[in-house]
Amino acid sequence: MSLTDTAIRNAKPREKQYKLYDDRGLYLLVQKSGKYFRFDYRFYGLRKTLALGVYPDVTLAEARQKRDDARKLLKKDVDPSRHQKEAKMMKRELIKNNFETITREWFNKQKHAWSDGHASRVIRRLELNVFPMIGKRPIKLITAPELLEVLKKMEKRGVFYSAHTVKQICGQIFRYAIATGRGERDPSADLKGALTPTKSTNMATITDPKRIGGLLRAINGYDGQIVTQCALKLAPLVFVRPGELRKAEWLEVDLDNAVWKIPVEKMKMKSPHIVPLSRQAIDVFKILKPITGNGRYVFPSLRSPSQAMSNNTVNAALRRMGYSKDEMTGHGFRAMASTLLHEQGWPSDVIERQLAHSERNNVKAAYNHAEHLPERRKMMQSWADYLDALKSGAQVIPLRRAAGK
């Protein structure tokens, strides 16, 4: 007699376990701990039992379907128990090797070579845009159309540049999965030309000497917070990255020896950096010393002195002074210095070292933070004097340095 839902529901546990049979090997095992569907079968003469689930999580109809599926496997000479174990193992393996798991592993390996800001932007873009859609998908099974759907959703929000950036990041993750034996191919490679093209633009800056003079005079007349004005004054003199400037700490600044030593953890390229300070830069620090010198940061946040200045403060000040984002940015002081110092004939190695650009040899980079330091000191003072002349309105035609001088 076949089982019924009523019979299963009314089955009560006894002192010893017992079975209620359905047909074709299916039965319900009733124990004090619960009710379990089982399927008994023979495979190459051996009696075996396959667990089909626990009632009521698995209904009678579902148990019968699982039994029928098992019988079909037997007809194909496949052991249902072995098949079930392999399926569970594969499922666990796929979960362990899903996109988010591998991404976080990749990220933890890469982030030590990045600045904190860059690392934060990378993982945030993935958490917001990618993980919700394909994060739980086994990385081996993700297709180009699936990845494209993620990127198209970003494009619908108008973040075209970010969509291209996320595509590149995903490509690195897929290639890492391949290298570690958990991926088979990089589907991002199939998306060439599938995204809306973005126009490549240079970082907004000013390189015309007359306009630089006007900018410096505008900074000198800035009527906002004195700390913000000092940040604006220092930016062209040291031309470090905006994040490095706003996070400057007094412990890093040695005014007696005219040097600012930025530690490795603050640098984008993860190499310590030395900034020789011109007389003009020291003067700015001396203005700030009685104002912020008792705290940690040279440029503390106006809202919370225990935190560094906001990353938008300098750009907001430039806007207030009338410079649009297409004319000048906080990052633009680096491009300004690079362009004009090259035009003035300073050695490229000296300029690039002072800009703290990437060093291809990472071991070499760890020791090169002081490279060309005497020449860099001369260059930084010459640059500060040049800016002073521009600010005064003088018609400055810089003398080009001869090679090796």
- Known active-site residue 334: yes
pLDDT value for 389: 94
Q: Is residue 201 part of a domain?
A: no
Mean predicted confidence (pLDDT) in 285-297: 95
> In 10 A of CB 106, how many CB atoms?
19
> Do 253 and 315 belong together in one domain?
yes
244 Cβ neighbours under 8 A, 6+ residues apart: 262, 266, 267, 273
Q: Is 24 left (phi over 0), alpha (psi -120 to 50) or beta?
A: left
Rounded percentage of the chain residues whose pLDDT exceeds 90: 69
Reported confidence tier of residue 85, pLDDT bands at 50, 70, 90: confident
> Do 241 and 382 belong together in one domain?
yes
- DSSP annotation of 387 reads H
Q: Is residue 202 part of a domain?
A: no
Single out the catalytic residue among 241, 273, 376, 391: 241
> Do 378 and 236 belong together in one domain?
yes
> Do 230 and 289 belong together in one domain?
yes
- Known active-site residue 367: yes
Inform me whether the pLDDT recorded for 224 exceeds 60.
yes
Cβ-defined contacts of 52-55 (< 8 Å, 24+): 52/26, 55/8, 55/28
- Known active-site residue 47: no
Single out the catalytic residue among 124, 157, 320, 367: 367
Mean predicted confidence (pLDDT) in 51-76: 95
- Known active-site residue 92: no
281 phi, psi to nearest 5 deg: -65, -40
> Do 226 and 160 belong together in one domain?
no
Listing from the earlier edge strand, what are the strands of the sheet with 273-276? Answer: 253-254, 259-262, 273-276
Amino acid at 7: A
> Do 41 and 131 belong together in one domain?
no
Last residue of a domain, which of 94, 127, 144?
Answer: 94
Last residue of a domain, which of 94, 125, 147?
Answer: 94
Question: From CA 262, how far away is CA 150, in angstroms rounded?
Answer: 39
Beta-ladder partners of 385: none
> Do 123 and 267 belong together in one domain?
no
- Known active-site residue 241: yes
Q: Token match 């009521």: residue?
A: 56
**pLDDT tens for each residue of 229-245:** 999 999 999 999 999 99
Last residue of a domain, which of 94, 118, 145?
Answer: 94
Q: Is residue 387 part of a domain?
A: yes
**pLDDT tens for each residue of 303-348:** 888 999 998 999 999 999 999 888 999 999 999 999 999 988 899 8
Single out the catalytic residue among 64, 334, 353, 391: 334
Inform me whether the pLDDT recorded for 24 exceeds 80.
yes
Q: Is residue 224 part of a domain?
A: yes
Output the six-digit token pair for 376.
Answer: 């860099």
Q: Is residue 79 part of a domain?
A: yes
Question: From CA 380, how far away is CA 384, in angstroms rounded?
Answer: 6
> Do 231 and 380 belong together in one domain?
yes
Amino acid at 80: P
Rounded percentage of the chain residues whose pLDDT exceeds 70: 91
Mean predicted confidence (pLDDT) in 258-277: 86
User: Got the DSSP string for 181-197?
Assistant: TS----GGGGGTTTSPP
Question: From CA 291, how far away is CA 284, in angstroms rounded?
Answer: 11
Count: domains in the chain: 3
* Domain carrying residue 178: 99-191
Inform me whether the pLDDT recorded for 212 exceeds 90.
yes
Could you give the count of Cα atoms lying within 13 Å of 238 in the half-sphere of its Cβ? 33
> Do 81 and 107 belong together in one domain?
no
Q: Is residue 162 part of a domain?
A: yes
> Do 385 and 245 belong together in one domain?
yes
Q: What's the CATH number where 220 sits?
A: 1.10.443.10
Question: From CA 390, how far away is CA 405, in angstroms rounded?
Answer: 24
Single out the catalytic residue among 247, 268, 353, 391: 268
pTM of the model: 0.54
Q: What's the CATH number where 140 sits?
A: 1.10.150.130
> Do 61 and 177 belong together in one domain?
no
- Known active-site residue 152: no
Q: Is residue 289 part of a domain?
A: yes
Q: Is residue 42 part of a domain?
A: yes
> Do 136 and 9 belong together in one domain?
no
Q: Token match 């690039």: residue?
A: 352
State the angle between helix axes of 373-392 and 332-343 in degrees (0 to 180), rounded to the nearest 10: 100
**pLDDT tens for each residue of 146-176:** 999 999 999 998 888 889 999 999 999 999 9
Provide the H-helix boundaries in 111-202.
Answer: 116-125, 131-134, 144-156, 160-179
Single out the catalytic residue among 210, 217, 357, 364: 357
Single out the catalytic residue among 64, 167, 182, 331: 331
Q: How far is CA 186 from CA 57, 103, 306, in A?
A: 39, 14, 44
> In 10 A of CB 53, how many CB atoms?
15
